[in-house]
Amino acid sequence: MSARTKARKRAIDVLFAADVRDEPAAELLAQEAERARTQPERETSWRYAREIVLGVLEHQDEIDELLTSYARGWTLERMPALDRAILRMAVWEIRWNDEVPTAVAITEAVEAAKQYSTDDSGRFVHGLLGRIAESVPPVVES
């Protein structure tokens, strides 16, 4: 498993836990930062996981608006919490991380959904991210 894939998993874990526990993601991020300091083997993947979580937090309103707008017949509340975490991460990568090709962001999200969520999640995540990627251009921040 690549360092970026591990980082995505860590980011999904933080976003999911914050959502399910109704706790601030920033607090969970601080706990993960402390764990990463005591486990040097986690450092490489931790840096990118942190970047993802902070990016999702910074753009969460816009991300959630996109998910709501492009999820045909689904509200955010109706989506499984794990799917929400995966989708938020992937939308951030697609829109705000120009280092990750859109196809890679979608593929990684679909694989995470297949591995960690429901039987239907892979197709759902793929379809929703595909619609967003086709319709909404990436943001180039300077």
**The pLDDT of residue 1:** 73
| Residue found under tokens 């993947």 | 45
Query: Which tokens is 95 given?
Result: 């829109």
Domains, the chain = 3-135 (1.10.940.10)
HSE-CB of 11 using CA atoms within 13 angstroms: 32
> pLDDT tens per residue, the chain (142 residues)?
788 999 999 999 999 999 999 998 888 888 888 787 777 777 777 889 999 999 999 999 999 999 999 998 899 999 999 999 999 999 999 999 999 999 999 999 999 999 999 999 999 999 999 999 999 888 866 5
Candidates 29, 21, 5; CA nearest to 93 is 5
Query: Whole-model pTM above 0.85?
Result: yes
Structure tokens that stand for 119 in this block: 């039987």
CA 99 to CA 13: how far, in whole Å? 22
**pLDDT for res 138:** 81
Question: Quick one: pLDDT at residue 141?
Answer: 63
